Amino acid sequence: MLVNWKRHNFLAYRGAYNTLFSDTATITKVTVMPTVPSSPKSVLRRQLFDARAQRNPVSNEEANLAIQQHCLQLLADNSFRRVAAYIPVGTEPGGSDFAEVLRTAGVEVLVPRCLPQRQLEWAAYLSPDSLRLASFNLLEPTGSAIPDGLAGCDLIFVPALAVTREGYRLGKGGGFYDIALSQLPAPIPTASIVFDEEVLPTLPLEPHDAQCDAIISPAGILHVSGSI
């Protein structure tokens, strides 16, 4: 017997359709999860990221040049020989050549590499060619990790989205620096780098938030603790 396959397939499709959408069909219950309210830190971070993204390129370059000069002055005033820095991305304060400017001043510069479990390891910054593009669009060092790493530095430049005049810092939310600083065997001076408008009267704080010792912005250096 010949079978009309077109009609057969149509009837099969129609049967499946009717079964799926009939009153007796079993409908999978979809649970709508309630919206979790954003934390005050998360809301503020978004606002600060948006503000940085809208910065004027010319004024941003001028601000970065001023920040770099203040950083060099801080190094000269304290005779630091090894510092931990980072590679700013986009409109982050300090400029993409921040580590190079420090290196040409005659100090040894370490920059971080991200590891699992929110850990950082540190390697020497030698030149722009000693960096590679990594996750989160960050530039990381290609050299070998230095054993004493952060603990052997005289000063740590810490990235921040905002900071209070008392030195409390708001980071990007990853927690890498909070963990790294908490693991130091002994305190090392830290300096947070921000734009002038990111020095705020207050920030939402948590118990683990630590103070930095200095704040560097285009306007100058604000010494917080007196240690540097």
| pLDDT per position as a tens digit, 131-175 | 999 987 899 999 999 988 999 999 999 999 999 999 999 998 888
Q: Tell me the sheet residues that pair with 140.
A: 132
Dist CA 57 CA 96 (whole Å): 13
Asked if residue 77 has pLDDT above 60, the reply is yes
Strand pairing of 162-164 and 220-223?
A: unpaired
Assigned token pair, 185: 């065997």
Domain boundaries of the chain, sorted by first residue = 40-47+58-223
pLDDT reported for residue 223: 96
- Predicted TM-score of the model (pTM): 0.82
Inform me whether the pLDDT recorded for 23 exceeds 60. Answer: no
Domain 40-47+58-223 matching CATH 3.40.47.10: the answer reads no
Sheet with 199-200: strands ordered across = 169-170, 162-164, 199-200
For residue 67, give both structure tokens: 């920040």
226: left (phi over 0), alpha (psi -120 to 50) or beta: left
* Residue 119, pLDDT above cutoff 60: yes
Task: Kindly provide the b/e burial profile for residues 78-105, where b requires at least 16 CB atoms within 10 angstroms of the residue's own CB.
Answer: eebeebbbbbbeebbbbbeebbbbbbee
pLDDT at 21: 41
